[in-house]
Amino acid sequence: MRLFYAIFLPEEVKRALVEAQERVARYKGWREVAPHHLHVTLLFLGERPEEDLADLRALGHRLGRLHPPFTARIRGTGYFPNEGTPRVWFAKAEGEGFALLAEGLREGVRELLGEEALLAGGDKPFKPHITLARRKAPAPRVPPVVFGLEWPVTEFALVRSELKPKGPVYTILEKFPLRGDHGREQEESAGKRTQDH
């Protein structure tokens, strides 16, 4: 099954991005991403055997316990590639939690399933973004869009993607709340030790 870890967006953020998608909707060469598919990919795993699921679920819960919620922001748009003919129009996502989670997932998957399990995601550096549209035929670039969006990220998910003729179908297999319990436990433990002395 085709799998990835991702953070999905609250409705108000999706509404603002859907409004921005109207900039490319007039051009047949761009195909907008459906609102319920808008997300930040943390780690793409590609095709994985079903027996990997237990490890991948356990990894998600472990990282959820390690990392606290954080604030995500969207300020503007960009293209992949930035030069030449673009294939993807995206919104840039900011927030230090994105990189921490993505790196934690990469390390965890490497430890559990080996380096081979990371090959599907390629070796490009992680750049948190939300794909707004994909270019399917000649179509112009649209001017940059400026946003002032932010939202609290409180969970991430393991997602199954099935490729269908009308587009991918995403199924959330499990959500992992961000709690940061481990960090709090360490602080509480350290505080208790200090008081004890």
Q: Where are the beta strands (DSSP E) in the chain?
A: 2-8, 30-32, 39-47, 70-80, 88-94, 129-135, 146-153, 155-164, 167-177
Active site (annotated) includes residue 39: yes
Query: For residues 105 and 151, what is the distance between their CA atoms, to the nearest angstrom?
Result: 22
Residue 171 in tokens? 């199924």
Contact 93, 70 (CB under 8 A): no
Active site (annotated) includes residue 129: yes
* 181-184-105-130 Cα dihedral, nearest 10 degrees: 90
Q: Which residue among the candidates 39, 61, 67, 197 is catalytic per the annotation?
A: 39
Contact 29, 104 (CB under 8 A): no
Query: For residues 193 and 175, what is the distance between their CA atoms, to the nearest angstrom?
Result: 34
196 contact partners, CB below 8 Å, separation of at least 6: none
Bond preceding residue 35 cis, omega within 30 of 0 = no
22 contact partners, CB below 8 Å, separation of at least 6: none
- The catalytic site residues sit at 39, 129
